Amino acid sequence: MPDAANTVRLNAALANPKEDIASLDALEQHLFAHRYAIDEIISFGPSIDPAKATEERGQAYSILERERQELLCSAETGALLNRLTDNEALLDDTRAAQVRVLQHDRASLVDVPSDEQAEFSRLTVEANDVWRRAKAANDWASFEPYVDRIVMAKRRFAGFKNPSADPYDVWLNEYERGTDCAVYDRFFARVKECVVPLLSDVRASKRKPSHAVVDGAFDEARQWRVADDLLKVEGVDPDALWLGRTEHPFTGGPGVGFVVIASHVYPENLLSNVFSMLHEGGHTLYEQNVNPAYRFTSLKGGTSSGMHEAQSRFFENYVGRSEAFATPLLEILKRHFPGQLGRMTPFQLYMAENCAEPCLIRCDADELTYPLHIMIRYEIEQLLFSGEATAKDIPGLWNERYKSYLGLDVPSDMLGCLQDTHWSDGDFGYFPTYALGSAFGAQLKNAMVDDGVDFDGACASADLTCIREWLRTRIWVWGRAKDAGELMEAACGEPFSASYYTDYLTLKFSSIYGL
């Protein structure tokens, strides 16, 4: 006699698969349109929207998010996805992957009340606007209550999603499936074990690479032309890109054919522009090179925050800060600043890019100290979620840690805990993926070299085709159809391991500093 579960299976088998597939396609169309609109709204919000757009943008965003949630979480959609899951054998690979991703997306939203979700969307739009003004005015106090409200909401939402798990673990897993505090604690312990003694040796070393060769004031208009040239070398498709301006650089992807990069240039910091652009260009390559067949489906876009960051930091660091790439990079820089840079050598540029010198701004950090910036944010987020700290404690916690880990005095919150946009957007649990992505990149680089890619040759010639092709076929085309873990294992022939990252850092900085 069939039990209840078997009855459900029986009903599922009786459904009309053709009709269900048509319903799946229709569902994906609606979800696509909402995602496109939301991505466009949030990409342009902090880059081109005028100041007074905030309230209407927040309202539109929250209603569209709510419609998306209602569509995905309706009982009808749930039943449809369950029938399709039960009949997976009847689906082609793409649709089977769509169903898996939709089930995952639905599960992460279905228990969150849509009123609260909509309220939260509105809150983050407002908080982002307040943060932008707070940063400009060095005014933590005005932003502080928003951080508390956002953390409180994120804790509540975590409870809806998974009442038995630690709230911060829920969000770590949300941004990077399979991770939690235990995973990151182990990962950061490995990183710390490597970076802290290495940084101490670096500081004690008598060899002191200098960035004096890139000091000076560099015309902004010409810096934007440098940005165009870098994106070209990187292989970004200019016909599928809009490049705009904002305080905190980011990449958004309304479509495979429509990626938004918003960035900034500072006259006194030429390399900040160079590495921001290579970084955002890496995100862009991922978005632009997803299988075109996924364009109108939930498989569009990157599979996880860590994997996205692996691509951006791959082009920023493994390519951009390599000795081989210094030659073509210098050519580009000299093209636009012949007077100021005419006498520089590629080796001088390489050294200037890789001074391991603690600095206040995460985005401007060298490769070695970068993960320490992330650890500081990770530790503060843990304290906020455990209730051991609230927003008013953040400046103190921040400044203390910058002193103890990086040896720096933080002169103002503008250069301290107000520097990043993430918390205003509600992205708690996101920062750790930045360090993880860097570590993915080291392993990916190792694997592509093992596969015969002439990495240094490609960098030296500024023809990055073979590097792009390796990443495109193994990572980018898959969109969200495979998890980061699956992709890493398939691309590298083994699961993720942090040792490639720590080996890379040790080797690179030992050589630069003659350790």
- Binding residues for its own copies, rule: CB under 8 A, are 29-30, 32-33, 36-37, 40-41, 44, 48-57, 59-60, 63-64, 67, 237-242, 244, 254-258, 295-296
Whole-number Cα distances in Å, 93 to 98, 100, 105, 225: 9, 11, 18, 43
Q: State the Cα–Cα distance between residues 13 and 377, nearest whole angstrom.
A: 49
Cβ nearer to its own copies, comparing 233 with 241: 241
Residue found under tokens 């890619």: 453
- Evaluated on CA atoms 170, 176, 177, 178, the torsion sign reads negative
Can you give 99-113 as a three-state secondary structure string?
HHHHHHHHHHHCCCC
Cβ nearer to its own copies, comparing 294 with 440: 294
Q: Residue 268's closest CA among 318, 222, 216, 226?
A: 216
The count of residues in the chain is 515
CA 158-163-169 angle, 5° bins: 50
Q: In Å, how far from its chain's centre is CA 486?
A: 19
- Minimum gap (Å) between residue 240 Cβ and its own copies: 4
- Minimum gap (Å) between residue 270 Cβ and its own copies: 23
Whole-number Cα distances in Å, 394 to 302, 359, 388: 31, 19, 11
Residues paired with residue 251 on neighbouring β-strands, in sequence order: 261
Amino acid sitting at position 24: L
- Minimum gap (Å) between residue 36 Cβ and its own copies: 4
- Minimum gap (Å) between residue 220 Cβ and its own copies: 13
* 3-state SS assignment for residue 292: helix
Q: Residue 446's closest CA among 504, 507, 371?
A: 504
Cβ nearer to its own copies, comparing 286 with 318: 286
Cβ nearer to its own copies, comparing 44 with 455: 44
Can you give 219-259 as a three-state secondary structure string?
CHHHHHHHHHHHHHHHCCCHHHEEEEECCCCEEEEEECCEE
- Minimum gap (Å) between residue 55 Cβ and its own copies: 7
Cβ nearer to its own copies, comparing 37 with 453: 37
- Minimum gap (Å) between residue 91 Cβ and its own copies: 22
Cβ nearer to its own copies, comparing 136 with 449: 136
Cβ nearer to its own copies, comparing 3 with 115: 115
- Minimum gap (Å) between residue 436 Cβ and its own copies: 30
- Minimum gap (Å) between residue 473 Cβ and its own copies: 21
- Evaluated on CA atoms 189, 190, 193, 194, the torsion sign reads negative
Cβ nearer to its own copies, comparing 238 with 493: 238
345: phi then psi, degrees, rounded to nearest 5: -105, 160
Q: Are 342 and 308 in contact (CB under 8 A)?
A: no
Q: Residue 315's closest CA among 353, 279, 272, 368?
A: 279
Cβ nearer to its own copies, comparing 255 with 395: 255
Cβ nearer to its own copies, comparing 67 with 420: 67
DSSP assignment letter at 266: B
DSSP assignment letter at 261: E
- Minimum gap (Å) between residue 296 Cβ and its own copies: 6
- Minimum gap (Å) between residue 469 Cβ and its own copies: 20
